[in-house]
Structure 1
Amino acid sequence: MDKLLERFLHYVSLDTQSKPGVRQVPSTEGQWKLLNLLKEQLEAMGLVDVTLSEKGTVMGTLPANIDGDIPAIGFI
């Protein structure tokens, strides 16, 4: 199976449904499970400074593969 499809199917197999009436985010253990998985996968792909915030934001930096001063880009 295509690796991208395999990854996607794994993501959607996780129970990440939010818990109604809860003010905290992420609101369930399933959401934390996905966030931790994403963090681990970013680190395995070579991203550096990978962080997971208490509000569930995963961020990392992909180091440049060329020399020189080039503009940065961000993906959300």
Structure 2
Amino acid sequence: MAAKNFLKSKGLDWEEVRVDLDPKARERMLALARRTSVPQIFVGDVHVGGYDDMVALNRAGKFDALLGDAGASP
């Protein structure tokens, strides 16, 4: 919920993939992120990490730049 609230606060849309309900999606997440925890956040093709990683990028002033590079749709 924290990640969703963060994205909402920035006025962003996102696609949620339920890896708990879709084994193939879980396999893709593991292959791309190499992590089993959720959420795993991607901006375009860039793996950001989890919520804490996304917030750290934002605090460092790098999240908005990443959004611009990816067309502003995580």
- TM-score computed with the length of structure 2 as normaliser: 0.27
The structure with more radius of gyration: 1
- TM-score computed with the length of structure 1 as normaliser: 0.26
Structure with the bigger RCO (C-alpha within 8 Å, sep 6+) is 2
Flag the structure with higher helix content. Answer: 2
